[in-house]
Structure formats: structure tokens, C-alpha cells
Amino acid sequence: MSDNQTIHRAAEIIKEGGIVAFPTETVYGLGADAFNPLAVARIFEVKRRPYFDPLIIHVANPSNVEELVKEIPSSAKRLIERFWPGPLTVVLLKEENIPDIVTAGLPTVAIRMPNHPMALALIKECKCPIAAPSANPFGYLSPTTAEHVRDQLGDQVDLILDGGPCPVGVESTILSFLEEKPRLLRPGGVSLEEIESIIGKVEISPIKDRPSAPGMLPKHYAPRTPIVFDWSEKNLDLYEDKNIGLLVLQEPKNNLKFHFVEVLSKKGDLREAAANLFAAIRRLDALNLDLIVAKPIPEIGLGRAIMDRLRRATSKGE
């Protein structure tokens, strides 16, 4: 089947109440018709996701936001104009017609327009907005290839659209517009610096205090193998007989003690590093190591999203 035929089939499935995994520029999503509560419920079941964790609605045109929300503040409008289609999600007061299961009963809804030709073609062909979380079991790393989805959710989804590796590699940036000042709920594919260059300073929630982003539990994006940040040569001696993997931005000078080293970007480019992040952690996780050591990355640009995901991956508590 050609891509067009597969997208057509995927749209039919969604219109009939099925669920489809599809590529976006950030990560693969698992989508259903946002106005079909039963279809959306299947997403929660397949992911084993708690119902208190709301989904993002994906649209194919900025004008579609108007029918989903009460109003769009001017700062949100300016960001939408600048960054859509792209990895920016806006949280606004929702219109009553959106099913509660999508928003976990909140008075707000998260919306974005993805920048991927397959995602956009799919949403246009369905003629409905698509509610979609990342296409991974709850709490695990997001998938950045169709194969990642196949490995973990395979026969539980009705169809997987393969659009190759996701170019951005970390999820969208989530900004809430419910207070006077916009608030960053999740750092992601659009950097804080880019956002602040358009609308000025935004509020930044500390990781432990995010009542408005129920899905941002401390332990998230976690591989099976334990990940730690703190390491020193002395530390490593304690693990003499253990297999330890290293996750670093650039090639380390001395990596003799590590069983395997994943370099995120040879030239130290944070965009390239973000695009490689989840696949690199998955590769390390597949090696049955005793431990993964992650070397902290500068928290500028996409480094902020990378460190946010790594912190959650290293976190011990739910």
C-alpha cells in the first residue's frame, strides 16, 4: 500500500472508533477521534494510563482551536502563529462539547498542531481532531520510531503509520494560559528562550509542584535499567564487576570503565541530542546493564527538555 492508501485506511479506522499510532515531529502518538469517548477510553486501556491524566488534542489547522476553547489570549495567539505547526501545546479553558475523558474532567484542554505531513494528512482526512498521548505504555519512554511502537503496543493498536524516526525526538512544550502570566508545564521541542523571545517572561513550575499537569509525575520516561546522574571514578570502582552504560552529550575522554557508551551528538548539538535521546536510552535498556550513568547536559535550549526527561527517568518515586 502507498502512504496515501495507508493514511486513508488509518482515517477510516479512526472514524469507526478505532485507535491508530502515527508519527509526529516530536514522538509517535496513539490517536482516536477526540469526540468519541469509547475510542478514547481504549487508548487509556492499551497504555494502562490512569484516567486522571488528560490527553492532548491534535488539530490540522490553527482555526480549529476556536471550536474547542472558550477564548484564545493574545499571547497564545502570537505563539500559535509563530510555532504552529510545531512542538508547542497550549492549555486553554475548554468548550463544553469536549468529552470529559479527554481532559480528565478538567475545565481545560491541551491542544497542538503537529508538524508532520502524515499526522496532518491523517487529521484532515478524519475530519475530526485527534486525541493522542505518546504511543508507549504509561510511565515508559516515548517512541520515536514505528518499531518502538510495534515492540511495545504491537497487536493492541489497529494500525501503525510508519513515518520514520521523529525529527525532534522530545515531546512538545506545554504552556498553560489560565493565569495572568503563561506558565511552562513541560519543557519540550520549542525552547523556553524561543517562547520568551515572543511573549516575554513566563512562569516556570517546579517539578514537584504541578497540580495543573497531572501527567507530569516525577517518575516517567523510565527505562527498566536504573539511571543515575551522580558518578565519579571512585563510585565506579564500587561497581567493578557490574556492567554500566554511559549516556553523554559528547564523547568522553575516558570511557574505559563503561560497558557501552551512547553519545547523543558528536558535535554537542542539543537539537541532535534531543532527536537521539529516547532511542539511545532504549538501546542502553536493551543491553541488560546493571546501571546507566547519565552525564548532566547544559540546561539551555533543548537541553532543558532533555534534562527534564532524564530527571524523571532517574527519579525513584511515582
Closest CA to 245 of 280, 277, 269: 280
Residues 199-218 that bind ligand TXA (CB under 6 A): 212-216
Please, where are the H alpha helices in 16-62? 37-47
Contact between residue 32 and residue 14 where contact means Cβ atoms under 8 Å apart: yes
Rounded to whole angstroms, how far apart are CA atoms 109 and 119? 20
Chosen residue from 41, 46, 93, 106 binding ligand TXA by CB under 6 A: 106
The interface partner of residue 132, options being ligand TXA, Mg ion, none and the CB cut-off 5 to 8 Å by kind, is ligand TXA
CA distances from 180 to 160, 201, 239 (A): 40, 12, 50
Contact between residue 122 and residue 7 where contact means Cβ atoms under 8 Å apart: yes
In the three-class reduction of DSSP (H, G, I as helix; E, B as strand; rest coil), residue 252 is classed as coil
The interface partner of residue 18, options being Mg ion, ligand TXA, none and the CB cut-off 5 to 8 Å by kind, is none
Is 244 a residue that touches ligand TXA (CB under 6 A)? no
Nearer to ligand TXA, 175 or 264 (CB): 175
Query: Counting Cβ atoms within 10 Å, is residue 171 exposed (0-12), middle (13-18) or buried (19+)?
Result: buried
In the three-class reduction of DSSP (H, G, I as helix; E, B as strand; rest coil), residue 109 is classed as strand
Closest CA to 73 of 210, 180, 172, 213: 180
Is 29 a residue that touches ligand TXA (CB under 6 A)? yes
The interface partner of residue 218, options being Mg ion, ligand TXA, none and the CB cut-off 5 to 8 Å by kind, is none
Judged by the rule CB under 5 A, the positions of this chain that interact with Mg ion are 134
Chosen residue from 12, 53, 194, 269 binding ligand TXA by CB under 6 A: 53
Taking the complex as a whole, the smallest distance from the CB of residue 108 to ligand TXA amounts, in Å, to 4
Question: Which residue's Cβ has the minimum distance to Mg ion?
Answer: 134
Is 146 a residue that touches ligand TXA (CB under 6 A)? no
Chosen residue from 20, 24, 122, 277 binding ligand TXA by CB under 6 A: 24
Q: Kindly state the cell numbers that stand for 37.
A: 469517548
Chain residues that interact with ligand TXA, rule: CB under 6 A: 24, 26-27, 29, 53-56, 87, 89, 91, 103, 106, 108-110, 114, 132-134, 171-172, 174, 185, 212-216
